[in-house]
Amino acid sequence: MRVLLAGVFTVLIVVSTYAVAHEGGMHVKGAVVAVEGDVLVVKSTEGAEHRFTLTKDTTFSRDGRPAPRTELAPGDRVVVHARRAGDRMEATEVRFSKASLKVRSGSPQASAAP
């Protein structure tokens, strides 16, 4: 019985910690449409367009390694972690990789979907 209660307690702690860590935040997976000044525009895998404000605290990583913001370009596959700041969403972390090429009918075509 003690083991069962300890297990349930552990699960509740993990779940509540996860919920607090993501309170007011969002994660978007998709492709970069544009990077304009301090605004990142992403088209999600569901087809919705999202705008994120990039700040001095936003971190960038390419293929799992730290990368400069300047390497981020339209067509890149991206996962954006963001939090609400007033009426806008601020990107806290941007993970990206370059779009891959797929071969269809003998001709390469860029694939921007993650």
> For residue 99, what pLDDT is reported?
78
Which of 111, 104, 37 has its CA nearest to residue 75?
A: 111
40 in Cβ contact with 72 (< 8 Å) = yes
> For residue 23, what pLDDT is reported?
58
Architecture of domain 24-99: Beta Barrel (2.40)
Quick one: CA dihedral 75, 63, 78, 89, positive or negative? negative
**Cα atoms in the Cβ-side hemisphere of radius 13 Å centred on 38:** 11
Tell me the per-residue pLDDT of 1-55, one tens digit each, with 9 for 90 and over: 565 444 444 444 443 333 334 556 899 999 999 999 999 999 999 999 999 999 9
In one-letter notation, the amino acid at residue 95 is R
Question: Taking the model in full, what pTM does it have?
Answer: 0.68
